[in-house]
Chains A and B, each alone.
Chain A
Amino acid sequence: MTKGQLPEFLETALKRLTQAAPPDDAAVERVLKRLSPLPRQKWPLWRLPGVLLDWQFAPAWPRFAALACFAALGFVIGIAGIDRRFDGGGAPFAVAGRSDIGSIVFEPEPLTGARP
Protein backbone atom coordinates (compact mmCIF):
# COMPACT_ATOMS: atom_id res chain seq x y z
CA MET A 1 0.00 0.00 0.00
CA THR A 2 1.30 3.42 -0.94
CA LYS A 3 0.87 6.56 1.11
CA GLY A 4 -1.61 7.83 -1.47
CA GLN A 5 -3.93 4.93 -0.68
CA LEU A 6 -3.67 5.54 3.03
CA PRO A 7 -6.62 7.96 3.53
CA GLU A 8 -9.05 5.68 1.72
CA PHE A 9 -7.79 2.64 3.63
CA LEU A 10 -8.07 4.54 6.89
CA GLU A 11 -11.69 5.55 6.25
CA THR A 12 -12.65 1.96 5.43
CA ALA A 13 -10.74 0.54 8.38
CA LEU A 14 -12.27 3.04 10.80
CA LYS A 15 -15.80 2.20 9.69
CA ARG A 16 -15.08 -1.49 9.99
CA LEU A 17 -13.23 -1.45 13.28
CA THR A 18 -15.62 0.87 15.10
CA GLN A 19 -18.88 -0.66 13.93
CA ALA A 20 -21.12 -2.15 16.58
CA ALA A 21 -20.68 -5.86 17.20
CA PRO A 22 -23.77 -8.10 17.32
CA PRO A 23 -25.53 -7.76 20.70
CA ASP A 24 -24.13 -10.00 23.40
CA ASP A 25 -27.24 -11.44 25.05
CA ALA A 26 -25.26 -13.12 27.81
CA ALA A 27 -23.65 -9.80 28.77
CA VAL A 28 -27.06 -8.11 28.75
CA GLU A 29 -28.46 -10.78 31.07
CA ARG A 30 -25.46 -10.47 33.38
CA VAL A 31 -25.89 -6.71 33.66
CA LEU A 32 -29.65 -7.04 34.21
CA LYS A 33 -28.99 -9.55 36.96
CA ARG A 34 -26.53 -7.18 38.61
CA LEU A 35 -29.13 -4.42 38.55
CA SER A 36 -31.10 -5.86 41.44
CA PRO A 37 -31.79 -4.93 44.12
CA LEU A 38 -32.28 -1.38 42.92
CA PRO A 39 -31.17 1.50 45.14
CA ARG A 40 -33.45 4.22 46.44
CA GLN A 41 -34.38 6.86 43.91
CA LYS A 42 -33.36 10.47 44.41
CA TRP A 43 -36.25 12.90 44.53
CA PRO A 44 -35.79 16.55 43.73
CA LEU A 45 -36.97 18.89 46.49
CA TRP A 46 -39.24 20.80 44.13
CA ARG A 47 -41.29 17.63 43.64
CA LEU A 48 -41.90 17.15 47.35
CA PRO A 49 -45.26 18.98 47.40
CA GLY A 50 -46.45 16.80 44.55
CA VAL A 51 -45.33 13.66 46.34
CA LEU A 52 -47.19 14.73 49.47
CA LEU A 53 -50.31 15.41 47.43
CA ASP A 54 -50.04 11.99 45.85
CA TRP A 55 -50.10 10.34 49.25
CA GLN A 56 -53.45 9.26 50.65
CA PHE A 57 -54.20 11.65 53.45
CA ALA A 58 -57.95 10.96 53.38
CA PRO A 59 -59.27 10.49 56.94
CA ALA A 60 -59.49 6.85 57.91
CA TRP A 61 -62.78 7.01 59.82
CA PRO A 62 -62.64 3.52 61.29
CA ARG A 63 -59.25 4.33 62.81
CA PHE A 64 -60.51 7.61 64.20
CA ALA A 65 -63.58 5.82 65.64
CA ALA A 66 -61.38 3.16 67.23
CA LEU A 67 -59.13 5.84 68.71
CA ALA A 68 -62.15 7.73 70.12
CA CYS A 69 -63.61 4.53 71.59
CA PHE A 70 -60.37 3.68 73.36
CA ALA A 71 -60.04 7.24 74.67
CA ALA A 72 -63.60 7.08 76.06
CA LEU A 73 -62.96 3.68 77.60
CA GLY A 74 -59.81 4.99 79.29
CA PHE A 75 -61.73 7.97 80.63
CA VAL A 76 -64.49 5.77 82.06
CA ILE A 77 -61.99 3.40 83.64
CA GLY A 78 -60.15 6.33 85.16
CA ILE A 79 -63.29 7.96 86.55
CA ALA A 80 -64.84 4.76 87.88
CA GLY A 81 -61.56 3.71 89.50
CA ILE A 82 -61.76 0.24 88.08
CA ASP A 83 -57.99 0.26 87.60
CA ARG A 84 -57.19 0.84 91.30
CA ARG A 85 -57.49 -2.79 92.23
CA PHE A 86 -54.79 -3.57 89.65
CA ASP A 87 -52.25 -0.86 90.54
CA GLY A 88 -52.34 -1.32 94.31
CA GLY A 89 -55.11 1.10 95.26
CA GLY A 90 -53.31 3.85 97.25
CA ALA A 91 -50.07 1.97 97.79
CA PRO A 92 -47.97 5.20 97.95
CA PHE A 93 -49.71 6.19 101.15
CA ALA A 94 -49.09 2.77 102.62
CA VAL A 95 -45.42 3.02 101.84
CA ALA A 96 -45.20 6.58 103.14
CA GLY A 97 -46.77 5.41 106.35
CA ARG A 98 -43.77 3.31 107.29
CA SER A 99 -41.48 4.78 109.89
CA ASP A 100 -38.32 5.01 107.81
CA ILE A 101 -39.93 6.88 104.98
CA GLY A 102 -41.28 9.73 107.02
CA SER A 103 -37.93 11.51 107.20
CA ILE A 104 -37.71 11.51 103.44
CA VAL A 105 -41.25 12.65 102.80
CA PHE A 106 -41.33 15.25 105.58
CA GLU A 107 -37.79 16.59 105.45
CA PRO A 108 -37.05 19.66 107.61
CA GLU A 109 -36.62 23.00 105.89
CA PRO A 110 -32.90 23.31 105.08
CA LEU A 111 -32.51 26.91 106.34
CA THR A 112 -34.92 27.19 109.25
CA GLY A 113 -35.10 23.56 110.32
CA ALA A 114 -38.87 23.83 110.50
CA ARG A 115 -40.82 20.65 109.96
CA PRO A 116 -43.98 20.66 107.88
Chain B
Amino acid sequence: MDDSDEALMAQIARGDERAFRALSRRHLPAMLGLARRILGNAADAEDVAQEAMLRVWTFAPRWQPLALFRTWLTRVVVNLCLDRKRRAPWVALEAAGEIVDSALGAGEKAEHDERERLVADAIAELPPRQRAAIVLTYGDGMSNAQVAEILDTTVSAVETLLVRGKQNLRRALDSAIDEDD
Protein backbone atom coordinates (compact mmCIF):
# COMPACT_ATOMS: atom_id res chain seq x y z
CA MET B 1 0.00 0.00 0.00
CA ASP B 2 1.32 3.44 -0.98
CA ASP B 3 1.76 5.53 2.15
CA SER B 4 3.57 8.46 0.56
CA ASP B 5 2.52 11.94 1.59
CA GLU B 6 0.79 12.48 -1.73
CA ALA B 7 -1.15 9.21 -1.46
CA LEU B 8 -2.23 10.09 2.07
CA MET B 9 -3.31 13.53 0.87
CA ALA B 10 -5.48 11.88 -1.77
CA GLN B 11 -7.14 9.83 0.95
CA ILE B 12 -7.55 12.89 3.18
CA ALA B 13 -9.19 14.68 0.25
CA ARG B 14 -11.85 11.96 0.39
CA GLY B 15 -12.38 12.63 4.10
CA ASP B 16 -10.22 9.82 5.53
CA GLU B 17 -9.44 10.87 9.11
CA ARG B 18 -7.12 7.92 9.68
CA ALA B 19 -4.89 9.04 6.82
CA PHE B 20 -4.90 12.53 8.29
CA ARG B 21 -3.76 11.22 11.68
CA ALA B 22 -0.97 9.24 10.01
CA LEU B 23 0.20 12.27 8.04
CA SER B 24 0.02 14.51 11.11
CA ARG B 25 2.04 12.08 13.19
CA ARG B 26 4.66 11.95 10.46
CA HIS B 27 5.14 15.70 10.04
CA LEU B 28 4.13 17.29 13.33
CA PRO B 29 7.48 16.82 15.14
CA ALA B 30 9.43 18.61 12.41
CA MET B 31 6.82 21.35 12.00
CA LEU B 32 6.65 21.94 15.75
CA GLY B 33 10.43 22.22 15.85
CA LEU B 34 10.51 24.63 12.92
CA ALA B 35 7.76 26.84 14.36
CA ARG B 36 9.48 26.87 17.71
CA ARG B 37 12.78 27.94 16.18
CA ILE B 38 11.15 30.73 14.20
CA LEU B 39 8.84 31.95 16.96
CA GLY B 40 11.08 31.08 19.88
CA ASN B 41 8.07 30.05 21.92
CA ALA B 42 6.79 26.52 22.48
CA ALA B 43 3.16 27.46 23.14
CA ASP B 44 2.92 29.61 20.01
CA ALA B 45 4.64 26.86 18.04
CA GLU B 46 1.94 24.39 19.09
CA ASP B 47 -0.77 26.82 18.02
CA VAL B 48 0.89 27.30 14.65
CA ALA B 49 1.39 23.57 14.10
CA GLN B 50 -2.24 22.91 15.00
CA GLU B 51 -3.44 25.62 12.62
CA ALA B 52 -1.21 24.28 9.85
CA MET B 53 -2.53 20.74 10.22
CA LEU B 54 -6.11 22.00 10.29
CA ARG B 55 -5.43 23.74 6.99
CA VAL B 56 -4.08 20.49 5.62
CA TRP B 57 -7.37 18.79 6.52
CA THR B 58 -9.64 21.60 5.41
CA PHE B 59 -7.96 22.31 2.10
CA ALA B 60 -6.98 18.75 1.20
CA PRO B 61 -9.72 18.49 -1.48
CA ARG B 62 -8.28 21.62 -3.12
CA TRP B 63 -4.63 20.60 -2.79
CA GLN B 64 -2.76 20.12 -6.04
CA PRO B 65 0.50 18.13 -5.99
CA LEU B 66 2.44 20.89 -7.75
CA ALA B 67 5.21 20.74 -5.15
CA LEU B 68 6.28 18.21 -2.56
CA PHE B 69 3.81 18.00 0.30
CA ARG B 70 6.55 18.69 2.84
CA THR B 71 7.60 21.87 1.02
CA TRP B 72 3.99 23.03 0.90
CA LEU B 73 3.46 22.28 4.59
CA THR B 74 6.71 24.04 5.52
CA ARG B 75 5.52 27.07 3.59
CA VAL B 76 2.22 27.05 5.47
CA VAL B 77 4.01 26.84 8.82
CA VAL B 78 6.52 29.57 7.95
CA ASN B 79 3.74 31.86 6.71
CA LEU B 80 1.73 31.28 9.87
CA CYS B 81 4.81 32.07 11.94
CA LEU B 82 5.43 35.25 9.97
CA ASP B 83 1.79 36.23 10.41
CA ARG B 84 2.23 36.25 14.13
CA LYS B 85 2.85 39.88 14.88
CA ARG B 86 3.93 39.32 18.39
CA ARG B 87 7.67 38.98 18.81
CA ALA B 88 8.03 35.94 21.02
CA PRO B 89 11.16 35.50 23.13
CA TRP B 90 13.84 33.28 21.62
CA VAL B 91 14.47 29.79 22.95
CA ALA B 92 16.67 29.99 26.00
CA LEU B 93 20.22 28.86 25.38
CA GLU B 94 19.83 26.18 28.05
CA ALA B 95 17.18 24.55 25.89
CA ALA B 96 19.68 24.11 23.09
CA GLY B 97 21.88 21.88 25.19
CA GLU B 98 25.37 22.11 26.56
CA ILE B 99 28.45 22.59 24.44
CA VAL B 100 30.63 19.51 24.36
CA ASP B 101 34.10 20.92 24.17
CA SER B 102 36.51 19.50 26.68
CA ALA B 103 39.27 21.82 25.45
CA LEU B 104 37.56 24.81 27.02
CA GLY B 105 38.32 25.76 30.58
CA ALA B 106 35.64 26.99 32.97
CA GLY B 107 36.33 30.66 32.24
CA GLU B 108 36.49 30.16 28.50
CA LYS B 109 33.32 28.10 28.57
CA ALA B 110 31.46 30.82 30.45
CA GLU B 111 32.69 33.36 27.93
CA HIS B 112 31.65 31.11 25.03
CA ASP B 113 28.19 30.60 26.57
CA GLU B 114 27.81 34.32 27.02
CA ARG B 115 28.67 34.98 23.37
CA GLU B 116 26.21 32.34 22.19
CA ARG B 117 23.54 33.89 24.37
CA LEU B 118 24.30 37.17 22.63
CA VAL B 119 23.86 35.49 19.25
CA ALA B 120 20.58 33.91 20.42
CA ASP B 121 19.32 37.30 21.60
CA ALA B 122 20.42 38.90 18.34
CA ILE B 123 18.58 36.21 16.32
CA ALA B 124 15.47 36.93 18.38
CA GLU B 125 15.72 40.59 17.41
CA LEU B 126 15.98 39.90 13.68
CA PRO B 127 13.04 40.74 11.40
CA PRO B 128 10.84 37.63 11.00
CA ARG B 129 11.73 36.90 7.36
CA GLN B 130 15.46 37.14 8.03
CA ARG B 131 15.01 34.87 11.02
CA ALA B 132 13.00 32.36 8.98
CA ALA B 133 15.63 32.36 6.22
CA ILE B 134 18.43 31.76 8.73
CA VAL B 135 16.54 28.97 10.51
CA LEU B 136 15.70 27.19 7.25
CA THR B 137 19.22 27.58 5.86
CA TYR B 138 21.34 26.87 8.92
CA GLY B 139 18.95 24.77 10.99
CA ASP B 140 17.33 22.63 8.31
CA GLY B 141 20.22 22.79 5.84
CA MET B 142 17.98 23.85 2.97
CA SER B 143 19.35 25.30 -0.24
CA ASN B 144 18.61 28.89 -1.18
CA ALA B 145 16.27 27.63 -3.90
CA GLN B 146 14.25 25.60 -1.39
CA VAL B 147 14.09 28.54 1.03
CA ALA B 148 12.99 30.77 -1.85
CA GLU B 149 10.17 28.36 -2.69
CA ILE B 150 9.01 28.25 0.91
CA LEU B 151 9.21 31.99 1.43
CA ASP B 152 7.60 32.52 -1.97
CA THR B 153 10.40 34.72 -3.21
CA THR B 154 13.46 34.60 -5.45
CA VAL B 155 16.84 33.04 -4.73
CA SER B 156 18.53 36.44 -4.84
CA ALA B 157 16.01 37.77 -2.32
CA VAL B 158 16.87 34.87 -0.01
CA GLU B 159 20.57 35.65 -0.40
CA THR B 160 19.83 39.25 0.51
CA LEU B 161 17.85 38.15 3.56
CA LEU B 162 20.74 35.95 4.71
CA VAL B 163 23.38 38.63 4.13
CA ARG B 164 21.35 41.27 5.95
CA GLY B 165 20.55 38.87 8.76
CA LYS B 166 24.20 38.03 9.28
CA GLN B 167 25.16 41.70 9.06
CA ASN B 168 22.67 42.46 11.82
CA LEU B 169 24.02 39.64 13.95
CA ARG B 170 27.63 40.68 13.36
CA ARG B 171 26.79 44.25 14.27
CA ALA B 172 25.17 43.11 17.51
CA LEU B 173 28.18 40.96 18.36
CA ASP B 174 30.65 43.67 17.36
CA SER B 175 29.05 46.12 19.73
CA ALA B 176 29.08 43.51 22.51
CA ILE B 177 32.82 42.86 21.95
CA ASP B 178 33.49 46.59 21.92
CA GLU B 179 31.68 46.93 25.23
CA ASP B 180 33.81 44.14 26.68
CA ASP B 181 36.99 45.82 25.48
- Chain A residues packing against B (C-beta within 8 Å): 1, 3, 6-7, 9-10, 13-21, 23-25, 27-28, 30-32, 34-35, 38-44, 47
Contacts and interface: CB of A to CB of B under 8 A. Distances in A.
B135 A13 contact: no
A21 to B, nearest CB: 6
Contact of B116 (A16, A24, A30): A16
Interface in B23-51: 24-25, 28-30, 32-34, 36-37, 42, 45-46, 49-50
A18 B29 contact: no
Interface of B: 13, 15, 17, 20-21, 24-25, 28-30, 32-34, 36-37, 42, 45-46, 49-50, 53-54, 57-62, 91, 93, 95-96, 99, 111, 115-116, 119-120, 123, 134-135, 138-140, 166, 169-170, 173-174, 177
Contacts of B30: 20, 23
Given A6-B170, A21-B33, A38-B57, A27 B24 contact: no
A42 B59 CA distance: 6
Contact of B138 (A1, A18, A44): A18
A3 B115 contact: no
Majority DSSP secondary structure for residues of A touching B:
helix
B115 A41 contact: no
A43 B59 CA distance: 8
A27 B174 CA distance: 37
Contact of B134 (A14, A21, A35): A14
A35 B177 CA distance: 47
A27 B44 CA distance: 11
B123 A17 contact: yes
A20 B33 contact: yes
Nearest to B27: A28
Contacts of A6: 170, 173-174, 177
A31 B139 contact: no
A89 to B, nearest CB: 56
A14 B140 CA distance: 11
A14 B122 CA distance: 11
Given A20-B139, A32-B21, A35-B53, A41 B58 contact: yes
B54 A35 contact: yes
Given A1-B177, A20-B37, A38-B17, 6 more contacts: A1-B111, A13-B115, A14-B169, A18-B134, A25-B29, A28-B25
